[in-house]
């Protein structure tokens, strides 16, 4: 992917201490790690936690929607009011179709069953970048809801490796 003029990184997840280390919250974990690395500090409003960081001389807004995963798109109106276009946004989220730890980035595409991405697409359109973090998939489809809301069991080192690979991909594509 050629270098773009990204302005916003949105990490998807669910607010609340009980969800912090869930597979569905990898977007929040990546956002938190970015803020730590670049010495940002979170601010809050009704819709989101947000922080401005400087990465390689560029001001980047990092957002964690606080509306729960399935309503993540509620931040879309705020982004539109700020003049942010889809192609200026990277959304970081979990992906059941990728093996655990695999990370990829691409523009556009379908929601692939991810309700947080679907919510953003409904209100913001499909033309944003997705940084997909592989969380693997349970054997039975009926176990998916419990699986994404379960904590990582792969070990802190492997989860941290995925977070750091995600940050590397973001930095490479700014």
Distance in angstroms (rounded) separating the CA atoms of residues 7 and 12: 16
DSSP string, the chain: -------EEEE----SGGGTTBGGGHHHHHHHHHHHHTT---EE-SSEEEEEEEETTEEEEEEEESS-GGGGGGGHHHHHHTT--GGGEEEEEEETTSPTT-EEEEE----TT-HHHHHHHHHH-S-SEEEEEE----SSGGGHHHHHTSBP-S-HHHHHHHHHHHHHHHHHH-
Residue for token pair 């069953």:
113
Residue 153, number of CB atoms within 10 A of its CB = 10
CB 169 within 8 A of CB 26: no
Catalytic member of 17, 24, 93, 114 = 24
Is residue 24 annotated as part of the catalytic site, yes or no? yes
Catalytic positions, written as ranges: 24
């Amino acid at each position: 992917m050629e270098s773009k003029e990204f302005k916003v990184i949105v990490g998807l997840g669910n607010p609340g201490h009980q969800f912090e280390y869930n597979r569905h919250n990898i977007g929040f974990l990546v956002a938190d790690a970015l803020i730590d690395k670049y010495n940002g500090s979170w601010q809050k409003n009704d819709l989101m936690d947000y922080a401005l960081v400087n990465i390689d001389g560029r001001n980047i807004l990092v957002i964690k929607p606080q509306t729960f995963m399935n309503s993540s798109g509620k931040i879309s109106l705020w982004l539109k009011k700020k003049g942010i276009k889809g192609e200026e946004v990277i959304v970081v989220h979990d992906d059941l179709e990728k093996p655990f730890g695999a990370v990829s980035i691409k523009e556009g595409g379908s929601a692939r069953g991810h309700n947080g991405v679907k919510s953003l697409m409904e209100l913001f359109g499909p033309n944003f970048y997705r940084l997909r973090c592989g969380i693997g998939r349970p054997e039975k489809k009926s176990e998916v809801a419990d699986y994404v809301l379960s904590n990582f069991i792969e070990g802190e080192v492997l989860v941290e490796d995925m977070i750091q690979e995600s940050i590397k991909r973001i930095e490479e594509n700014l």
